[in-house]
Amino acid sequence: MKLSRRQIYLFLACVAPIGKLVVLPTELVREAKNDLLLPVAIHFLVQAAVIFCVLLLGRRERGLYEILEGTFGRVFAKICMVTLSLFLLLAGLVPLIEQQLFVQGVFYDTLPSVIAYAPFFVFAAYLASKPLAHMGRVWDILAPLFAVGLLGILLLSVGSADYAALLPIGASGTGFLKSTLSASVWFFDAPLLLLLLGKFEYREGMAWKGALCYLGGGLAVLFFLATFYGIFEETAINQIFAFSKTAKYFSGITVLGRIDYIFVYALALVLAFYTVLPAQCAIDGVVQAFGSPRHLQTILSAGIFLGYFVLSLVFDYSFFALLKFMTKALVYLFPVFATLIPALLLTLGRQP
């Protein structure tokens, strides 16, 4: 089973941006303040360029492991795949715990028990045990959900936003540079795409179309961020779980109730599948490297999500410590794995 080009475009435009709408907006404001659009614009541009390169690699119609093996040999290729998988597992931890806190904080009026969220890990383990190429159909369904969800939220929010709050540009000084670095933790879409190599058929123009789709999704995120800051201004730093917050000031809500939750739930559903994806790609990386012995994928999937479940219990009350560790100590891994390596593969991997 292969992914169609449409499914790749939909993933880039409508699934990849969702991870940037939960905690990232608040974290951006911490350093970049009203310049919060700049770090995100930089990341989207850089990732779009890398995605262009990765999609060009798709011309070879080979999986990542095959490309690496053809260039560096079997052992090094295996090491690379395992390292990349470990990176993806690490990168996937933040969105996973973000989502847990989001569900507990937004969908419940009081802090629910851990059990309320536990079924997600069962669902995620099952999903991750499925071949990555099967995700195309899921993205077909998620893309309209994302589009309707985000559009609905934006429509309900724009009236409450004062976009002049984004002025003056550059007020944060070097704050936006610090923010650009820490925001790297949320931008690892190119390595996800690396694992999809060989699972789709490349056609002329796919690289730039894919990059454009990603930029389209990026524009939607930027517009959302502008609206978010326009609504909360200096207090935006206190507004975690951004996409559930902006629409609640719509005047009709006092009469109709939280109708914005229809759109919030739609986005939450997209988020649920997105948060599984890094682990799913990581498992696929290992399977590519070691073939697919019987039940390897299922065992890996169960083990990984059991581990994630334990970590989610550990970090349930210390998410910000984890975030600090990721954005200060481990952040340097992200430009290497999410930008440098995928971009370099295009130049290094010229093997028949």
Partner 1 sequence: MKFRHFVKTIPMKLYIIVAAVLLFAFFSNDFGLVDIQKTAVILAAGIDRSGEDFRLTAQLAVPKGSDRTTGGTSSVEIKTEGKTVSDCITQIFTDTGWVPKLVFCNLIVLGEEAAKEDTISYLNYFLRNEYMPDSCLLAVCEGTAEKLITSQSAIDDASSLAIAKLFSDAAEKSGYVMPNTLKDFAIGYYGVSKSSYLPYLRTMPQDGAQTPSSGTQPSPQEEEQQKIYTAKHTALFSEGRMTALLSPEETLAFSLLKGKVSAGTFNAEAEGKPVTLTLLEDEGKISLQKDPTKAKLSVSVMVRFCCSGTTAPIEEISSDEVTKETLKSAEEVLKGYLSSMWEKATEGGCDLLGLRKSLYRSSLKKYAEYKNMLPHAVTPQIEVNVASMK
The residue ranges that bind partner 1 (CB under 8 A) are 103, 105, 107-110, 112, 116-117, 119-120, 122-123, 126-127, 164-165, 167-168, 170-171, 232-235, 238, 240, 248-249, 251, 265, 268-269, 272
For the CB of residue 234, give the shortest distance to partner 1 in the complex, in Å. Answer: 4
The residue (of 170 and 303) whose beta carbon lies closer to partner 1 is 170
The residue (of 235 and 347) whose beta carbon lies closer to partner 1 is 235
For the CB of residue 163, give the shortest distance to partner 1 in the complex, in Å. Answer: 11
The residue (of 176 and 188) whose beta carbon lies closer to partner 1 is 176
For the CB of residue 124, give the shortest distance to partner 1 in the complex, in Å. Answer: 9
The residue (of 251 and 351) whose beta carbon lies closer to partner 1 is 251
Write out the two tokens for 235. Answer: 């207090």
DSSP 98-156: HHHHHHHHHS-SSPPPGGGTTHHHHHHHHHHTS-GGGHHHHHHHHHHHHHHHHHHHHHH
The residue (of 67 and 127) whose beta carbon lies closer to partner 1 is 127
Phi/psi at 58 (nearest 5 deg)? Answer: -60, -20
The residue (of 15 and 197) whose beta carbon lies closer to partner 1 is 15
Write out the two tokens for 86. Answer: 């470990």
Evaluate whether 146 touches 266 at the Cβ level (below 8 Å). Answer: yes
* Residues near 244 by beta carbon (within 8 Å), at least 6 away in sequence: 102, 106, 260, 261, 264
For the CB of residue 247, give the shortest distance to partner 1 in the complex, in Å. Answer: 11
For the CB of residue 222, give the shortest distance to partner 1 in the complex, in Å. Answer: 19
Alpha helices in the chain (DSSP H): 5-10, 24-32, 37-57, 64-72, 74-91, 93-106, 119-128, 135-157, 175-182, 189-194, 206-232, 253-256, 260-290, 296-315, 319-328, 333-334, 341-348
**To which residue do tokens 């009203």 refer?**
34
For the CB of residue 245, give the shortest distance to partner 1 in the complex, in Å. Answer: 9
How long is the chain? 352
Evaluate whether 163 touches 230 at the Cβ level (below 8 Å). Answer: yes
For the CB of residue 294, give the shortest distance to partner 1 in the complex, in Å. Answer: 15
The residue (of 19 and 198) whose beta carbon lies closer to partner 1 is 19
